[in-house]
């Protein structure tokens, strides 16, 4: 079985991206796993602090480890947007493959200090865990927003990216390049798309010299995704699109079967809707 580091190096070399999908329950986990297996592609499962709080840090790690072994498929687990050192250590000890450490709302100097501390603590638990650091601001909350959050307008500079990578020892960098968490109401219909600063991605990737992660990918223009991946994005995060598919699938399922009480029967439709979203994103990210 390949490690996450190997999967990242392979994706980077081939100019494709590993899809990262957040899950808050076993139905979403099943949807992501089945889509990735169906396409024979490695995949990253994301669990943010909120999602870990709901699922249990050790519990989600145990389920993903079990799936990887039983299915013999490269399914990796990331502790998405971990804001504290304690949270990073808890996820590392639970067996997560990756820690997405996020101190990006702090001034640069503090971000460097906290991220370096997290890298050292995580690597002392297990050297093979991949640590991501965040630089710049991409807003917070994979939700539906009325307008673009002010904070999402500070983009990452290439020179700062280089210094940040050198000073912290991170393996992967998440920059702000026009991406944003969540979706605007106007994006739900699909008429308005997020656009990325491709030139900046190329510059940051060159300066950083390590794989980059694109956060807040939901609702991004398909062509921009492809260009961003060619320019150096090796991991792409999708969350809100899956949450939307879950909600729509669940509502349709309940409306179509008002008397149904068997959970796994009710879940068939949301499962299907989420699987479709994950499959189409994985296809796009990998050109298959």
The helix (H) or strand (E) run that includes residue 99 is strand 98-101
Distance separating alpha carbons of residues 41 and 20, to the nearest angstrom: 12
Count Cα neighbours of 34 within 13 Å in the Cβ-side half-sphere.
13
Quick check: helix, strand or coil at residue 212? strand
Given the rule CB under 5 A, which of 128-136, 163-171, 209-217, 272-280 is the region that contacts Zn ion?
209-217
Distance in Å, CB of 70 to Zn ion, minimum: 29
Contact predicate 240/183, CB 8 Å: yes
Q: Which of 157, 194, 215, 281 binds Zn ion (CB under 5 A)?
A: 215
CB-wise, 48 or 168, nearer to Zn ion? 48
CB of residue 69 to Zn ion, shortest distance in Å: 28
Expressed in percent and rounded to 5, the helix, strand and coil fractions of the chain are: 55, 15, 30
Q: Retrieve residue 143's tokens.
A: 């939700």
- The residue (of 132 and 273) whose beta carbon lies closer to Zn ion is 132
Q: Which of 10, 25, 72, 80 is catalytic?
A: 80
Q: Nearest distance from residue 50's CB to Zn ion, in Å?
A: 12
Under rule CB under 5 A, residue 52 binds Zn ion: no
CB of 96 to Zn ion, least distance (A): 16
- State the Cα–Cα distance between residues 154 and 177, nearest whole angstrom: 9
Q: How far is the CB of 218 from Zn ion (least distance, A)?
A: 10
Residue (219 or 269) nearer to Zn ion, CB: 219
Residue 197 appears among annotated catalytic residues: no
Residue nearest to Zn ion (CB): 215
Q: Interaction with Zn ion in 76-115: which residues (CB under 5 A)?
A: none
Size of the site for Zn ion (CB under 5 A): 1
Q: Which is nearer to Zn ion, 204 or 271 (CB)?
A: 204
| Closest CA relative to residue 137, chosen from 167, 109, 83, 174 | 174
| CA-to-CA separations, 182 to 15, 28, 141, in angstroms, rounded | 26, 18, 6
CB of 215 or CB of 243, closer to Zn ion: 215
- H/E segment holding residue 235: strand 233-238
Sign of the C-alpha dihedral computed for residues 113, 114, 115 and 118 taken in this order: positive
**Unique residue bearing structure tokens 């994005």:** 233
Q: Which residues make up the interface to Zn ion (CB under 5 A)? A: 215
Catalytic residues: 80
């Amino acid at each position: 079985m390949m490690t996450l580091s190997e999967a990242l190096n392979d994706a980077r070399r081939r100019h494709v991206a590993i899809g990262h999908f957040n899950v808050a329950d076993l139905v979403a986990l099943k949807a992501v796993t089945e889509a990735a297996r169906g396409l024979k592609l490695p995949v990253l499962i994301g669990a943010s602090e909120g999602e870990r709080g709901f699922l249990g840090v050790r519990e989600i790690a145990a389920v993903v480890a079990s799936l990887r072994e039983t299915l013999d498929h490269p399914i990796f687990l990331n502790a998405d947007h971990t804001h504290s050192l304690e949270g990073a250590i808890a996820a590392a000890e639970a067996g997560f493959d990756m820690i997405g450490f996020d101190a990006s709302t702090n001034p640069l100097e503090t971000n460097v200090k906290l991220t370096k501390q997290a890298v050292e603590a995580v690597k002392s638990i297990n050297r093979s865990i991949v640590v991501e650091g965040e630089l710049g601001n991409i807003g917070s909350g994979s939700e539906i927003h009325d307008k673009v959050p002010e904070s999402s307008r500070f983009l990452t500079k290439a020179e700062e990216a280089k210094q940040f990578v050198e000073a912290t020892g991170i393996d992967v960098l998440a920059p702000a390049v026009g991406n944003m968490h969540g979706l605007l109401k106007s994006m739900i219909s699909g008429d308005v798309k997020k656009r990325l600063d491709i030139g900046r991605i190329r510059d940051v990737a060159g300066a950083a010299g390590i794989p980059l992660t694109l956060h807040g990918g939901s609702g991004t223009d398909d062509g921009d995704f492809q260009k961003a991946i060619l320019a150096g994005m090796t991991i792409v995060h999708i969350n809100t699109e899956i949450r939307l598919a879950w909600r729509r699938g669940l509502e349709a399922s309940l409306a179509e079967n008002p008397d149904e009480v068997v959970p796994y029967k009710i879940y068939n439709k949301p499962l299907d809707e989420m699987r479709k979203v994950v499959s189409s994103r994985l296809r796009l990210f990998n050109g298959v």
